[in-house]
């Protein structure tokens, strides 16, 4: 989350959650600042649906009935899936605590708050590209402001924000951004002139993410896809089963389309299905013609049993070679962890691929550090309950980093084109990353002022 005070207005951008994994329990944490209580918030912008941006938004909105709220329609749909999933996870945790006589955990937000958010009269969703209407959208309360949103390329519905201020300057927030194409989102460096006009022909401030601030794109994305295809063909040839453990949003949909493009049918399980329905426009066609199969759990006992029978069939390779896409990429939760990995990892002919960033302290990281033939701890569904087990890792594992974030070259090129007077860098994993990025930016002709690192809790005056 960040709070921007500009020309008399207070604008909050995103409000996510973080995960702190110590021991067995995964704890969530929320942004500092006590929900900005005591501060009038004029506007809340949600840049995209990922949990580190939207996870606590419902609560922030609850504390600020005065705020206008803007997001794209696709972001709203995706956020709704993430919000409902958070509530489901909380319900299960509460039920577990109750059963074990432990104190019931406090949810970050309640069902009532979520419903109030969906029906908030101040909420405006739009299809990007979109310039706000000063009368209708800003209610005539923002004289001298113009505000527009354009695709950020990071995810379906993700946007960058372009503000022209009453003081004659610009304010440009990239949000999470990517200039390289993904299967379901076209890369964007900057919008075309018919959107931008003379936007950058004035001094201004740019706030950019720099997740990959110190990383160059190692190889073109087409080559990466080619290598994944080669790997899949090897697993197929030896009669193995391939698990693709992914994050439900963005990555699952990209990988599904990628495997289809490589000529493979795909089976998809868990929350990934819901996100894919929002992200992949022709998903119904793919389901109909059999390129994609969704395992549908449903509520009834019969449906549940059928789903588990189908899982067992795909894990046993009874339908031929069909890559299995299931969340989550960390292997700490979701069907990938509880239903697929415990079986697939033990088969010598099998393989697991990971196409996302590998997080510290995740089961996936431990998997890459363990020698073949050794065991790792996981949790498996046994008779409807999660039981701790040890899994003997015998299969092939491979990491292909298909980042949804811009690499260093794209990030630097965007700064070169925007020529900001002030550059603020955030969403940046560490000092090395920031320094590497800052050094590249400094080599631009003419060198801009030293970039400012937007560390948590820092107040920056411009
Ligand atoms: Zn993101």
**Ligand 1 centre distance from Cα of residue 436 (Å):** 21
Q: How many whole angstroms from 294 Cα to the centroid of ligand 1?
A: 25
Q: How many A from CA of 140 to the centre of ligand 1?
A: 32
Ligand 1 mean position, distance from CA 138 (Å) = 27
pLDDT digits (tens, 9 = 90+) for 192-225: 999 999 999 999 999 999 999 999 998 999 999 9
Distance 425 CA to ligand 1 centre (A): 15
Q: Ligand 1 centre and the CA of 38: distance in Å?
A: 29
- Exposed, middle or buried: residue 341 (CB in 10 Å: 0-12, 13-18, 19+)? buried
State the distance from the centre of ligand 1 to the C-alpha of 154, rounded, in angstroms: 7
Question: How far is the centre of ligand 1, averaged over its atoms, from the C-alpha of 176 (Å)?
Answer: 5
Q: In 194-330, at which residue ranges do the beta strands (DSSP E only) sit?
A: 204-209, 242-245, 266-268, 292-294, 324-326
What's the pLDDT score for residue 107? 92
pLDDT band at 24 (very low <50, low <70, confident <90, very high): low
What is the set of domains in the chain, with CATH numbers?
1-127 (3.60.15.10), 143-218+402-462 (3.60.15.10), 221-399 (3.40.50.10890)
The DSSP call for residue 127 is: P
Q: Is the pLDDT of residue 396 over 70?
A: yes
Please determine, for residue 390, whether its predicted confidence score (pLDDT) is greater than 80.
yes
**What residues does 242 pair with on adjacent strands?**
351
Residue 149 clears pLDDT 90, i.e. is over it: yes
CA separation for the pair 148, 57 (Å, rounded): 21
pLDDT of residue 187: 98
Nearest residue to 417 (alpha-carbon basis) of 59, 166, 160, 234:
160
What is the spatial distance between Cα 369 and Cα 363, in angstroms, rounded to a whole number?
10
Alpha-carbon distance of 263 to 82, in angstroms, equals 30
Q: Output the pLDDT for position 19.
A: 80
411-435 confidence digits (pLDDT tens): 999 999 999 999 999 999 889 999 9
d(CA 338, CA 344): 11
Label residue 26 by pLDDT band (50, 70, 90): low
For 233, residues 6+ apart whose C-beta sits below 8 A from its C-beta are: none
pLDDT category at 21 given cuts 50, 70, 90 is low
């Amino acid at each position: 989350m960040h709070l921007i005070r500009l020309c008399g207005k207070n604008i909050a951008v995103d409000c996510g959650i973080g995960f702190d994994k110590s021991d067995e329990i995964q704890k969530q944490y929320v942004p500092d600042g006590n929900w900005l209580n005591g501060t009038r918030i004029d506007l809340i912008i949600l840049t995209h649906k990922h949990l580190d941006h939207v996870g606590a938004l419902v609560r922030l909105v609850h504390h600020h009935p005065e705020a206008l709220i803007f997001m794209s329609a696709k972001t709203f749909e995706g956020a709704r899936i993430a919000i409902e999933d958070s509530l489901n996870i909380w319900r299960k945790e509460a039920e577990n605590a109750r059963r074990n006589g432990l104190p019931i955990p406090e949810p970050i937000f309640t069902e009532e708050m979520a419903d109030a958010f969906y029906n908030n009269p101040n909420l405006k969703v739009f299809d990007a590209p979109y310039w706000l209407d000063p009368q209708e959208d800003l209610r005539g309360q923002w004289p001298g402001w113009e505000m527009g949103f354009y695709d950020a390329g990071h995810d379906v519905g993700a946007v960058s924000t372009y503000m022209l201020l009453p003081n004659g300057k610009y304010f440009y927030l990239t949000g999470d951004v990517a200039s390289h194409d993904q299967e379901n989102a076209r890369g964007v460096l900057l919008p075309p002139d018919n959107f931008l006009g003379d936007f950058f022909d004035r001094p201004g401030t740019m706030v950019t993410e720099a997740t990959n601030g110190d990383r160059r794109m190692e190889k073109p994305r087409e080559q990466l896809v080619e290598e994944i295809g080669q790997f899949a063909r090897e697993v197929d040839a030896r009669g193995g089963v391939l698990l693709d453990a992914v994050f439900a949003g963005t990555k699952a949909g990209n990988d599904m389309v990628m495997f289809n493009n490589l000529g493979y049918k795909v089976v998809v399980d868990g929350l990934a299905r819901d996100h894919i329905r929002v992200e992949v426009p022709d998903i119904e066609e793919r389901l109909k013609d059999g390129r994609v199969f969704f395992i549908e759990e449903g509520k009834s006992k019969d449906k549940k049993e059928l789903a588990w029978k189908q899982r067992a069939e795909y894990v046993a390779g009874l339908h031929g070679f069909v890559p299995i896409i299931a969340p989550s990429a960390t292997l700490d939760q979701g069907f990938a962890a509880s239903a697929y990995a415990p079986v697939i990892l033990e088969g010598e002919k099998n393989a697991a691929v990971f196409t996302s960033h590998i997080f510290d302290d995740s089961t996936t990281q431990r998997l890459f550090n363990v020698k073949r033939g050794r065991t790792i701890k996981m949790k498996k569904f046994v008779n409807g309950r999660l039981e701790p087990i040890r899994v003997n890792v015998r299969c092939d594992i491979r990491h292909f980093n298909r980042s949804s974030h811009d690499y260093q070259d794209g990030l630097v090129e965007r700064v070169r084109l925007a020529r900001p007077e002030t550059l603020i860098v955030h969403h940046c994993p560490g000092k090395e990353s920031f320094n590497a990025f800052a050094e590249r930016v400094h080599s631009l002709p003419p060198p801009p002022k030293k970039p400012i690192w937007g560390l948590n809790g820092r107040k920056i005056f411009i």
